[in-house]
Amino acid sequence: MRPATCFPCCLAVVVLMAAGVPAQTDIGPAALELHDRYLAAWNAQDADAFAATLHYPHARQAPGAPGSTSWQDAAEYAAGMDFGPLIARGWVHSYWDARTVVQAGGNKVHVAARARRVDADGRTFQTVQTLYVITEHDGRWGVQARFSAGPPASGRVADASRKAAVEAIEAYLDAINRRDGQAFAASLHYPHYRVTIGGEVQPAAGPEVLSNTTFERLASTGWVRTDSHNVNPVQVSADGVTVALELLRYNAAGEQIAHFDTLYFVTRQDGRWALKGRSSFAPR
């Protein structure tokens, strides 16, 4: 284990809830405290301590193929950690450059963070942006899943990524509203991970075709369509976009019957944009 090196930190911590999301100050600070221990263990190169800041099964997703990895327990995670390649690039320390609590509710918090990796002279050689799904189980907070968008994009590249991600979400919702299980399966990338309302990771290794039973269950609540609201791309790269939004369900009379917050990780793979990860909250 290597001692952490201290560097001046210019962290900007923003507790900013997505539009319409009720701030839950009781869980935000607890999740951020865990998030700080996560980074401290990383900087100390302490594999066991780092693995202990995660919940299992744990999933990490990134653009590309396959771009997805999952671990069943802390022993498996710690055994596979190797700081060598990063150290070979000159890395000695990472710090949060910015953090935003995007959504929070129940036992789950979504934290969008941008981290800088620096060398011995304090020079940044890489900036990474990741959405952390932080959950509480049995009184303990841990990182349940990570959606790593990649280096931040700007200008026309960022505009194109945002547009493509929003269009992919529209295709996903259109498939649901048309009750088209095959189209729904085509709107996802695989392996695909979904973090449930209860904070559990559900994997889909191959095409996930929604059955008629799923649509019948939705219809039994009076549902006829789902619309998106307050669509907010919170992290944007050339090949990945993390999008926070609200979903509204309506009945045949046009009355709203459900309203909940969700987050989609949309990536480009083989030239096609689709949803690679999801994490939702219970209806309000």
Is the bond preceding residue 191 a cis peptide, omega within 30 degrees?
yes
Q: Residue 222: which region, alpha, beta or left (left: phi > 0; alpha: psi -120 to 50)?
A: left
CB atoms within 10 A of CB 96: 19
Examine the pLDDT at 235 and tell me if it is beyond 50. yes
- Tell me the average pLDDT of the chain: 91
Examine the pLDDT at 190 and tell me if it is beyond 70. yes
Which pLDDT value is given to residue 42?
A: 99
Question: What percent of the chain has pLDDT above 70?
Answer: 90
Higher pLDDT, 7 or 246: 246
Is the Cβ–Cβ distance between 126 and 152 less than 8 Å?
Answer: no
Domains and CATH numbers, the chain: 12-148 (3.10.450.50), 155-280 (3.10.450.50)
Which pLDDT value is given to residue 65?
A: 72
pLDDT in tens, 23-61: 454 688 999 999 999 999 999 999 999 999 999 999 999
Examine the pLDDT at 219 and tell me if it is beyond 80. yes
Which pLDDT value is given to residue 90?
A: 98
Examine the pLDDT at 22 and tell me if it is beyond 50. no
Which pLDDT value is given to residue 68?
A: 83
129: number of CA atoms within 13 Å, CB side? 22
Which pLDDT value is given to residue 205?
A: 86
Point out which residues pair with 249 in neighbouring strands: 226, 258
Which pLDDT value is given to residue 67?
A: 77
Give residue 210's pLDDT band: very low, low, confident or very high (50, 70, 90): confident
Structure tokens at 155: 């200008």
Closest CA to 116 of 106, 124, 108, 104: 124
Structure tokens at 48: 């066991």
Residue whose tokens read 């791309």: 233
Residue whose tokens read 């309203």: 259
Q: Sign of torsion, CA 75 80 86 87?
A: positive
Q: How far apart are CA 262 and CA 264, in angstroms?
A: 7
pTM assigned to the model: 0.90
Give residue 73's pLDDT band: very low, low, confident or very high (50, 70, 90): very high
Stretch among 5-9, 152-156, 177-181 having the lowest mean pLDDT: 5-9
